[in-house]
Amino acid sequence: MIDINLIRNNPEMVKEKLARKEFEVDFTTFLIQDKRRRELIFTTEQLKAEKNKVSAQIPQMKKEGNDCTLLFAKMKQDSELINDNDDKISLLDKEIDDFLESLPNLPADDVVAGGKENNAVIRTFGSKPQFAFEPKHHVDIVESLGIIDYTRGVKLGGNGFWIYKNLGARLEWAILNYFIEEHLKDGYEMLMVPHILNYQCGYTAGQFPKFKDDVFQLKNDENVEFTHFILPTAETALVNLHRDEIIEENRLPFKYFAYTPCYRKEAGSYRAEERGMIRGHQFNKVEMVQYTTPETSEAALEELVNKAERLVQGLGLHHRVSKLAAGDCSASMIKTYDIEVWIPSMNDYKEVSSASNAGDYQSRRGNMKLRRKDSYKLELMHTLNASGLATSRIMPAIMEQHQQEDGSVIIPEVLRKWLGGLERLIPQK
RNA sequence: GGAGAGUUGGCCGAGUGGUCGAAGGCGCAUGACUGGAAAUCAUGUGAGCGAGCAAUCGCUCCGAGGGUUCGAAUCCCUCAUUCUCCGCCA
């Protein structure tokens, strides 16, 4: 949610910034409704003040034995008028809220306008591996190594699921261990969170109501709207930890991370080129989240993207970092960096981490505040998140970038301690 | 799944229809006292919304939502949640 006062005071500026996110708005109706709402509140509150005043006199009058019948009749009328007005106000509230929550966050000033085509690569690590042989697709590699079972995954869960088996499961776990260990070194607090979340979590994160059909919804009664869903990313949980809380300024920043599987419907997004584990209904991810003061969130974003990048570097994978154009940032975010790893078979870079600053957008939706040390004033916190990392793109990248002519795959050094020192995966007969 | 008891301000806790945004205590802040601290004393100490340049004023909020009433923290209904006991279970 963006600040309603920004729109009241400077609708043109907000309109211009949203346009950079390729979002067209017209504030005419909103501004009229907002004005009407405030007028209604003003007159209704005057009525209430009068009512309260009279109410306070009633015990005294009764004590003195006065007849209150006429007074009660008038009070009843006033109460009905107040109720009518309150109904009108809540209707306006709802319309205004619906409108406000449909607006994406404003992009940062240093984020360029436009869509995906305006994303800018800001740095690159390593270079595209050159193969003296015909490199294989990761699906063929993992099958020949016997570390992923697609067929049986589909048998159990349907299209979009797979099974890590044997050294595949251990490699996946090693990757996650590696991420966890690095985050602990950096002083991030590890959390294990519920995988089933209530609706409000999706709302605070900025994913609902717009993207509520992208998650697996849970409900026991066909006739009611769902109240819970399976988390699509740990961000949805982590960003709700401090919902409806006030945090003393000097306790910030909070730095958390959590490993969870991520469950997504990914309806209709399948393409042949994304075969394998590039896009599944369930994938593993370690997610980082920070809660900061407004003035430190910029620096926190750089810290997060650097952390994520170091993880990819540690695995020796060629990748690049892009700063997204406004229109390619997700709705809640003011600025986003993507880390994309090179997938030879796709001849393309695929996202392994997205590091974003949500500013106060999520905090406003979730009512998350900080109290200033000196002034005791309340302010909205800033929230940031970054994957660190998703394995579903990392595993293919390792398979393809580290593949050898004999069909084996070199295991990155940093992972070996969790695999009993194993240096390479060998094809099964 | 069944039965019972709770949910009040940063925390503890009183309050069962009327002047209660809410006693009392703790904590915290400021001041006095002190060489300094402790103790003590005094004063202050929630959030949201609306009006106002501001000082300030008004409205709303006692788990959430609805209802009864002139009037609800207090009565009724629904839901959430915590605790205790019983049952079932990985």
Query: What ipTM does this complex have?
Result: 0.84
Q: Please tell me whether any atom of strand B lies within 7 Å of the Cβ of A56.
A: yes
Q: Please tell me whether any atom of strand B lies within 7 Å of the Cβ of A55.
A: yes
At A63 the pLDDT is 75
Distance (Å, whole) CA A298 – CA A110: 11
At A385 the pLDDT is 96
Q: According to DSSP H, which parts of A64-122 are helical? A: 69-101
Q: Please tell me whether any atom of strand B lies within 7 Å of the Cβ of A93.
A: no
Is the per-residue pLDDT at A209 higher than 80?
yes
Q: Please tell me whether any atom of strand B lies within 7 Å of the Cβ of A60.
A: yes
Report chain A's mean pLDDT, rounded to a whole number.
91
Residue A393 (CA) to nucleotide B86 (C1'), in angstroms, measures 50
Q: What's the average model confidence in pLDDT over A285-292?
A: 96
Is the per-residue pLDDT at A160 higher than 90?
no
Distance (Å, whole) CA A113 – CA A119: 9
* Closest nucleotide to the alpha carbon of A82, via C1': B59
Closest among A387, A427, A342, A349 to A176, alpha carbons compared: A387
- pLDDT tens, residue by residue, A54-106: 888 888 787 777 777 888 888 888 888 999 999 899 889 999 999 998 999 99
At A273 the pLDDT is 56
User: Could you tell me the pLDDT band of residue A312, with boundaries at 50, 70 and 90?
Assistant: very high
For residue A226, the tally of other CB atoms under 10 A from its CB is 16
Q: Is A198 helix (H, G, I), strand (E, B) or coil?
A: strand
pTM of the model: 0.91
* Closest nucleotide to the alpha carbon of A47, via C1': B59
* Closest nucleotide to the alpha carbon of A39, via C1': B50
For residue A368, the tally of other CB atoms under 10 A from its CB is 24
Q: Please tell me whether any atom of strand B lies within 7 Å of the Cβ of A75.
A: yes
Closest among A392, A401, A391, A399 to A425, alpha carbons compared: A399
Residue A244 (CA) to nucleotide B61 (C1'), in angstroms, measures 14
Q: Please tell me whether any atom of strand B lies within 7 Å of the Cβ of A220.
A: no
Q: Tokens for A65?
A: 């034995």
Q: Please tell me whether any atom of strand B lies within 7 Å of the Cβ of A38.
A: yes
* Closest nucleotide to the alpha carbon of A52, via C1': B71
The burial of A84, by beta-carbon neighbours within 10 Å (0-12 exposed, 13-18 middle, 19 or more buried), is given as: exposed
Q: Please tell me whether any atom of strand B lies within 7 Å of the Cβ of A5.
A: no
- pLDDT tens, residue by residue, A106-144: 999 999 999 999 999 999 999 999 999 999 999 999 999
Residue A114 (CA) to nucleotide B78 (C1'), in angstroms, measures 49
The long-range contacts involving A85-89, CB below 8 angstroms and separated by at least 24 positions, are A85/A40, A85/A43, A85/A44, A85/A47, A86/A44, A88/A40, A89/A37, A89/A40, A89/A41, A89/A44
Phi, psi of A317 (to 5 degrees): -105, 135
Note the strand B nucleotides within 7 A of protein beta carbons: 18-19, 47-51, 58-60, 70-71
For residue A285, the tally of other CB atoms under 10 A from its CB is 25
Q: What's the average model confidence in pLDDT over A367-372?
A: 88
Rg (CA), chain A: 27
Q: Please tell me whether any atom of strand B lies within 7 Å of the Cβ of A52.
A: yes
The burial of A282, by beta-carbon neighbours within 10 Å (0-12 exposed, 13-18 middle, 19 or more buried), is given as: middle
Strands (E), A344-405: 348-357, 368-371, 378-380, 382-390
pLDDT above 70 covers a percentage of chain A that reads 96
Q: Please tell me whether any atom of strand B lies within 7 Å of the Cβ of A154.
A: no
At A314 the pLDDT is 97
At A257 the pLDDT is 96
Q: Tokens for A198?
A: 């209530």
